[in-house]
Structure 1
Amino acid sequence: MLCGSYFKTVFLRSARVCKLTPQLFLSAISRKSLNTVPAVAPSIDQLVTVGKLMADMDPNTNRSLMTVTSLEKKDGGCYASGGWKSEDGRLSCGFSSFRGKRATMEDFFDVKTCKINGQTVCLFGIFDGHGGSRAAEYLKQNLFNNLMMHPQFMTNTKMALSETYQQTDSDFLESEKDNSRDDGSTASTAVLVGNRLFVANVGDSRTIISKAGKAIPLSEDHKPNRTDERERIENAGGVVMWAGTWRVGGVLAMSRAFGNRMLKQFVVAEPDIQEQELGEEIEMLVLASDGLWDVVPNDDAVSIAQTEEEPEAGAKKLIETAFSCGSADNITCIVVKLYHDSTTESKTESVTTTETEKQPQS
């Protein structure tokens, strides 16, 4: 059973490594270096790789961007978790990612925060690859950076999200034009600009909020058998057919995605976007890949995450629950808790990220 863990403002933190169930390892984190330390149980033949906090400044936009995220996952990657708390104490997040029963890891996630003209912006994203990990990895590396550079990001966030999603899809396809592979990825992102929340979704990853204790989905899975999606696909000359589940052209079990060049005429990357004001009744966000949602209902996800005080422990518990309920997919989750008590003392930012990789064969 995963145990709870707490954010600390020191750079020594315990991490978790797993095969089928996590085991405890120690790791160290430094703001100025990227360290690789051997696991304390060398018989598992794995390494613990410690992530770092990266702060970059774009001199053209004066936008200071802090990235709170894991390293790129590779096929040997098994488990990653970490957390972060905002400097003003208004929110904290925890993230957890588990390869599960799959042979390879195709899930990626990203967490970023910055200040623009004195206003705090936070960005959270889940990217679930299919047919390979390249598309999901590309989104992690580029989507939020592209969004931040959109000239109307602060003035028309919804338009910026829509245009950035579709332009990033085009950029990815262009970057892969000489490759024979045809992988794709979902994207479910939550962007907080001041007290406004924008959720953009492509594919079957999902974002929900807890509002006064009730789970409310802010995205609807893009499945080929959805009436509006089926009509859109057929109007474009495509076909939706049953092949174990409903699939576009009998191939892809989602109707919108990044990548998937061969089906691009029908499988678009135009996101559905919802906007919410962050009132005091909104307590939590949960973003996850379908490895969670396939086996854990929305209401249960909120209930499980709320049993833990810290969001990192909540994200870990969701991962463990999905795995124990039979999820056969990669499972990745971000839990964001919102604190509306204005008297909360500011706390120093703390981040930990861990990831395991198999040692290369000699």
Structure 2
Amino acid sequence: MLCNSCIRSVIVQAGIFRKTRLQLDNIGRSLNASRSINYKWNRQVFLRSSITMMVDSDSTDTRGPTVDLLKEKEDDGGFVSGWWKSEDGELSCGYSSFRGKRVTMEDFYDAKSTTIDGQRVCMFGIFDGHGGSRAAEYLKEHLFENLLKHPQFMADTKLAISQSYQQTDVDFLDSEKDTYRDDGSTASTAVLVGDHLYVANVGDSRTVISKGGKAIPLSEDHKPNRSDERKRIESAGGVVMWAGTWRVGGVLAMSRAFGNRMLKQFVVAEPDIQELSRESKLPSSVDCKLLKRVY
């Protein structure tokens, strides 16, 4: 999606791609990211919002209602999409999805907006499930809810994101302790608080900021053959081996994920987090895209 250059905006886009040639136009050419892969679903979530957030200096520590910006629609296997725009015109977001070869949906997205101390807070996430849909669905239902409840959310947002990710993983595993399932999920999220954008990922999600067609990566895939990830896994007693691609224990093709109880000692849910602000790295007009790629 392209943003009108005269509008100062942030756009967050998320998509899931498998078994198709990934075309990212200027972003793909800048990153040389296009390669032959398979697609199971293509899901996009995008946000347009004013970078400048007005703060009421007389506000108290109050929180407004949390609004689900995007509503799930019944999907009969065809293309579905939706769109929402705030009354003041400062925020708009939407999604589109179509089903690939999978019989059931394993992927979910979430988009919420609220106000805290007079500031608009926007949260966007895409969760790619594997081995089933339960982990991804649990993240949709609880991850941002847990984040908003964190006592340090406004004071130390990065700490709150990290701890909320890991606590949500613990909670999910506890909720599934009496089942024989071993669902897992990645997560790619963007949280906008005032002039600050926090991008977090667990798994092989990717986040890219594009300015004038030039792509700037904000995340790195959590792959088992990444040197630091391999060292962490082997130090914990695990093994990384080739089985069509590099896999933890010859099973999972990513080194971090929610769920995956049988590999939990090695496959953690601790996110990598990047923080940008308009005063430092975040330009006044920018396209920020979260991309989920599965090999």
The bucket for the TM-score relative to the shorter chain is: 0.7 to 0.9
Whether 1:287 aligns to 2:290 is: yes
Does the aligned pair in 1 maintain the 2:73–2:80 contact within 8 Å? no
Whether 1:211 aligns to 2:211 is: yes
CA–CA separation in structure 2 for the residues paired with 1:112 and 1:270: 22
SS at match of 2:66: strand
* Equivalent position amino acid for 1:235 in 2: S
- 1:84-103 mapped onto 2 (5 Å cutoff): 84-103=84-103
Give me the CA root mean square deviation: 2.0
- 1:40-189 mapped onto 2 (5 Å cutoff): 62-71=63-72, 77-189=77-189
Computing the radius of gyration over CA atoms, which structure comes out larger, 1 or 2?
1
Does the aligned pair in 1 maintain the 2:258–2:268 contact within 8 Å? yes
How much does 1:286 deviate?
Answer: 1.5
* Closer, same or farther: CA 61–138 of 1 in aligned 2, 3 Å: farther
CA–CA separation in structure 2 for the residues paired with 1:241 and 1:140: 31
How much does 1:82 deviate?
Answer: 1.4
* Closer, same or farther: CA 146–232 of 1 in aligned 2, 3 Å: same
Aligned to 2:276: 276
Does the aligned pair in 2 maintain the 1:248–1:254 contact within 8 Å? yes
SS at match of 2:65: strand
SS at match of 2:191: strand
* Equivalent position amino acid for 1:63 in 2: G
CA–CA separation in structure 2 for the residues paired with 1:124 and 1:110: 6
SS at match of 2:265: coil
Residue by residue over 1:169-218, the C-alpha shift from the partner in whole angstroms, topping out at 9 and shown as x without a partner, is 00000000000010100000000000100001000122222123312221
Residue by residue over 1:278-335, the C-alpha shift from the partner in whole angstroms, topping out at 9 and shown as x without a partner, is 34444222223215xx6xxxxxxxxxxxxxxxxxxxxxxxxxxxxxxxxxxxxxxxxx
**Higher deviation after alignment, 280-289 or 135-144:** 280-289
**Higher deviation after alignment, 170-179 or 94-103:** 94-103
* Closer, same or farther: CA 136–203 of 1 in aligned 2, 3 Å: same
* Unmatched 5+ stretches in structure 1: 1-59, 295-362
Does the aligned pair in 2 maintain the 1:224–1:253 contact within 8 Å? yes
CA–CA separation in structure 2 for the residues paired with 1:130 and 1:61: 38
* Closer, same or farther: CA 234–105 of 1 in aligned 2, 3 Å: same
Aligned to 2:20: none
How much does 1:73 deviate?
Answer: 7.4
* Equivalent position amino acid for 1:124 in 2: F
Does the aligned pair in 2 maintain the 1:73–1:105 contact within 8 Å? no
How much does 1:156 deviate?
Answer: 0.4
TM-score by length of 2: 0.74
CA–CA separation in structure 2 for the residues paired with 1:236 and 1:194: 39
SS at match of 1:63: coil
Does the aligned pair in 2 maintain the 1:212–1:281 contact within 8 Å? no
* Unmatched 5+ stretches in structure 2: 1-60
How much does 1:95 deviate?
Answer: 1.5
CA–CA separation in structure 1 for the residues paired with 2:237 and 2:78: 40
SS at match of 1:180: coil
Does the aligned pair in 2 maintain the 1:143–1:165 contact within 8 Å? yes
* Equivalent position amino acid for 1:65 in 2: T
Aligned to 1:235: 235
SS at match of 1:161: helix
Aligned length: 232
Whether 1:263 aligns to 2:263 is: yes
Greater RCO between the two (CA within 8 Å, min separation 6)? 1
How much does 1:61 deviate?
Answer: 5.9
How much does 1:248 deviate?
Answer: 0.2
* Equivalent position amino acid for 2:242 in 1: W
Aligned to 1:196: 196
CA–CA separation in structure 2 for the residues paired with 1:188 and 1:251: 22
CA–CA separation in structure 2 for the residues paired with 1:143 and 1:213: 32
CA–CA separation in structure 1 for the residues paired with 2:265 and 2:74: 30
How much does 1:96 deviate?
Answer: 1.6
How much does 1:64 deviate?
Answer: 1.4
How much does 1:137 deviate?
Answer: 0.3
* Closer, same or farther: CA 73–205 of 1 in aligned 2, 3 Å: farther
